[in-house]
Amino acid sequence: MDLSVLWFCLIGVLFCGFFFLEGFDYGSGILLPFVGKNDVERRVIFNAIGPFWDGNEVWMLTAGGAIFAAFPHWYATLFSGFYLALFLLLLALVLRGVAFEFRSKDDNPTWRAFWDWALWFGSLLPALLWGVAVANLLRGVPIDANMQFVGNFFSLLSPFTVVTGIAFVCLFTYHGALFLSMRTQGEIQQRVQNLIPRLGLATIVTVVAMAALMLLETDILGKFISIVALVLAAVALIASYVMASARRYGRAFVATALTIVFAVATVFTGLFPRVMVSSLDPAWSLTVYNASSSVTTLTIMTIVAVIFVPIVLAYQIWTYWVFRKPVDIKDLEY
């Protein structure tokens, strides 16, 4: 396989892992003010995702680094065109990370309430912006013959991109609710489980709307493999809703994970060999060939990935194993 194609596939795998892991992380943060009714209950939710959130974000950082090294033209055009959106994303993620560390530094209710809402905002905004960014990759953005973005922030907004952003928020919130249903106990768990049917239904409705607009505004469903991936994502989402309705939350969580994986597969198979679509002229689109680094760079990256990716996977699996038990209020005695 051509190394540029290989790295396009590997970046797709990294985004599968990121959206699957950080998806329930974002979803849990979005649900924090609504299922945690007091300071102690919100602390339980913080502890439920506390051991995992920073490890989950490694997938995003690795994906961004891989794009920078393997496809520098893609990275340059993406970050210059989506600059304001990515700045807001970074600001929200910084605020979110600080919330985990600062919340317990003061007993003042106002202080803790501020960081609770900071976590909520730092979870909601990235989920929304990731949906908008993915939709723009599919729909196309104004890129000229020199691989330069020639639009503005409002070029990124359309009914399709906004609906996709909302669909991402709903899917991640539903995914997070299923995660919390397994990671919490008592009244918190009951509140989450009461929300799951409504969240699942909202996710199905918004995802169907997103798919309909995708069919109208993009060409990614012109490939058989993309259609298959999309159908599998839909089947997994419906299966998740059915299993959640039967109170089989563990299986429903696995099904939403598969929904996310197949959805990312739909995006990457539909884009290939493009990495960014030009809405001005299809010939000006960035591809895995005209946007990639040299063979030497890709070869070195492949060697490094073979060595270090298994190490990252090993420590992350170990973390999930160590903190596998549900969090309860009695665990906050310290």
What confidence tens digit (pLDDT) does each residue in 170-222 have?
Answer: 999 999 999 999 999 989 999 999 999 999 999 999 999 999 999 999 988 88
Q: What is the mean pLDDT of residues 225-254?
A: 96
The pLDDT value recorded for residue 331 is: 67
pLDDT at residue 148 in the model: 92
Q: How far is residue 42's CA from residue 38's CA, in Å, rounded to a whole number? A: 6
- Asked whether residue 265 carries a pLDDT value surpassing 90, the answer given is yes
Q: Is the pLDDT of residue 334 over 70?
A: no
Selection from 255, 256, 276, 279 nearest residue 267 by Cα = 276
Check residue 140 and give left, alpha or beta (phi > 0: left; psi -120 to 50: alpha): left
What three-state secondary structure class fits 290? coil
CA–CA dist 320, 256 (Å, integer): 18
Q: How confident is the model at residue 333 (pLDDT cuts 50, 70, 90)?
A: low
The whole-number pLDDT of residue 324 equals 87
Task: Read off the tokens for 59.
Answer: 């997938």
Q: In whole angstroms, what is the distance from residue 113 CA to residue 246 CA?
A: 35
State whether residue 246 is helix, strand or coil: coil
Using the Cα atoms of residue 290, residue 2, residue 137 and residue 69 in order, give the sign of their dihedral: negative
Which tens digit of pLDDT belongs to each residue from 80-129?
999 999 999 999 999 999 999 999 898 899 999 999 999 999 999 999 99
| Residues 74 and 275 sit within 8 Å (Cβ to Cβ) | yes
Which H, E and C letters describe 135-160, residue by residue? HHHHHCECECCCCCECCCHHHHCCHH
b vs e for 120-149, b when ≥16 Cβ sit within 10 Å of the residue's Cβ? Answer: bbbbbbbbbbbbbbbbbbbbbbbbeeebeb
Which pLDDT value is given to residue 151? 86
Count the alpha carbons within 13 Å of 37 in the hemisphere toward its beta carbon: 7
- Name the residue with tokens 């089989």: 248
pLDDT computed for residue 329 by the predictor: 75
DSSP string, 93-110: HHHHHHHHHHGGG---HH
Could you tell me if 26 and 123 are in contact, meaning their C-beta atoms sit under 8 angstroms apart?
yes
pLDDT for the residue numbered 173: 97
pLDDT, averaged across the chain: 93
Q: Is the pLDDT of residue 249 over 80?
A: yes
**Rounded distance, CA 152 to CA 157, Å?**
10
Determine contact, residues 229/220, Cβ cutoff 8 Å.
Answer: no
